C-alpha cells in the first residue's frame, strides 16, 4: 500500500494565538482559510487544504494527520480496531471528508484523513494569494517521543510505514528514526525525548530549492527573526534544512530536495559517534544541546 505520501496537516498549540497567526501569515506567507472551535486554519495556498492549524494552549502537537484514500481509510480503521486501538471518526475540519483519530503509544494524537481537494499543485493557478517566499506545502513532522521503539513499531505494524534510517544508542535503543509510507525518505520522524512534556521537535515546510530557502530566510531576517541552525544538508534524508523558532513556541524547519527511497531498501542504521556530526553532511554547522534535546 502506498497511498500515504506526505503529511496532510498538523495542529499545534501556541502560547499566543494572535501573535502566532500574524507571524505565520505576515512572515511565513500562509493564508487563513477558516476559524472554528478556537482553531485558526492556515494553508500554503496551492490547494484548498489547510496545512497548519493553531490553537492557544501550551506548545507542541495537538494532532497531526496523513492523507489516505477512502479504501485505505476503511482498511486501516479495521486493522486498528482489530488490534484493540481506540479510534474516533472525525470529519469536522475544513476540507476534510472523513478521518479517524487515534493515539500513538507515546500519547501523540494522529489522524488518517481523506480530503475534498486532491488535485496536484499548479503554481500558476494558486488557490489563494501567495508571496514568492511562501512554502510550497507541508513536508513532514518530527515528533519527540519518550519511547521511540514503541512508536516506530506501531507505525510499522498497524500503518505499513517503513523505517528509512535510524540512530541507535550504546545499549541498542533507538535514539532517532525516520519513517516513510510512500517514496519520500520520511513523512514522520521520531526523536528521543528526555522530558515527556515535549511532543514536537519540528514541523517542516517544503521549499522548492536552496534559492527558495534563501528568499525565505532573507524575509525572516528582514522581519527581525534569526535562524537557529543551518542552512545545510542532513545526513538522514539528504534534504537541505534550516530551522527557526516561531512565535508561540514551536520549532519550524524549511526543507528541500528530500531523497526518495526504493521500497525494498534496507534500513540505514548508525550508532552514535560523539566525534561525528549526525545532523549535517557538509559540516560547519554544529547543533546546540538545545537543538538535540529540546522540543515543544
Using the 8-state DSSP alphabet, how is residue 68 labeled?
A: -
- CA 113 to chain centroid, in Å, comes to 15
**What is the value of pTM for the model shown?**
0.95
pLDDT digits (tens, 9 = 90+) for 91-138: 889 999 999 999 999 999 999 999 988 888 888 877 778 888 999 999
pLDDT digits (tens, 9 = 90+) for 149-175: 999 999 999 999 999 999 998 888 899
Sorted by where each starts, the structural domains of the chain and their CATH numbers stand as: 7-116+136-293 (3.10.180.10)
CA distance 157 to 153: 6
Amino acid at each position: 500500500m502506498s497511498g500515504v505520501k506526505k503529511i496532510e496537516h498538523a495542529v499545534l498549540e501556541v502560547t499566543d494565538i494572535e501573535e502566532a497567526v500574524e507571524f505565520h501569515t505576515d512572515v511565513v506567507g500562509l493564508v487563513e482559510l477558516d476559524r472554528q472551535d478556537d482553531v485558526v486554519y492556515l494553508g500554503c495556498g496551492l490547494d484548498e487544504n489547510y496545512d497548519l492549524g493553531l490553537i492557544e494552549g501550551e506548545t507542541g502537537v495537538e494532532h497531526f494527520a496523513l492523507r489516505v484514500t477512502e479504501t485505505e481509510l476503511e482498511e486501516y480503521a479495521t486493522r486498528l480496531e482489530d488490534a484493540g486501538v481506540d479510534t474516533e471518526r472525525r470529519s469536522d475540519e475544513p476540507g476534510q471528508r472523513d478521518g479517524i483519530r487515534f493515539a500513538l503509544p507515546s500519547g501523540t494524537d494522529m489522524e488518517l484523513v481523506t480530503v475534498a481537494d486532491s488535485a496536484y499543485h499548479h503554481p500558476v493557478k494558486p488557490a489563494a494569494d501567495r508571496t514568492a517566499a511562501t512554502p510550497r506545502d507541508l513536508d513532514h513532522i518530527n515528533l519527540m517521543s519518550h519511547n521511540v521503539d514503541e512508536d516506530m513499531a506501531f507505525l510499522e505494524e498497524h500503518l505499513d510505514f517503513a523505517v528509512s534510517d535510524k540512530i541507535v544508542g550504546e545499549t541498542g535503543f533507538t535514539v532517532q528514526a525516520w519513517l516513510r509510507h510512500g517514496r519520500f525518505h520520511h513523512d514522520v520522524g521520531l526523536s528521543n525525548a528526555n522530558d515527556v512534556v515535549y511532543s514536537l521537535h519540528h514541523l517542516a515546510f517544503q521549499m522548492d530549492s536552496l534559492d527558495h530557502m534563501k528568499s525565505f530566510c532573507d524575509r525572516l531576517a528582514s522581519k527581525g527573526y534569526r535562524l537557529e541552525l543551518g542552512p545545510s544538508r542532513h545526513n538522514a534524508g539528504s534534504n537541505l534544512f534550516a530551522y527557526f523558532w516561531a512565535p508561540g513556541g514551536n520549532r519550524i524547519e524549511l526543507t528541500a530536495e528530500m531523497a526518495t527511497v526504493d521500497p525494498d531498501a534496507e534500513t540505514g542504521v548508525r550508532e552514535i559517534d560523539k566525534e561525528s556530526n549526525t545532523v549535517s553532511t557538509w559540516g560547519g554547522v554544529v547543533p546546540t544541546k538545545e537543538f538535540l534535546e529540546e522540543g515543544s
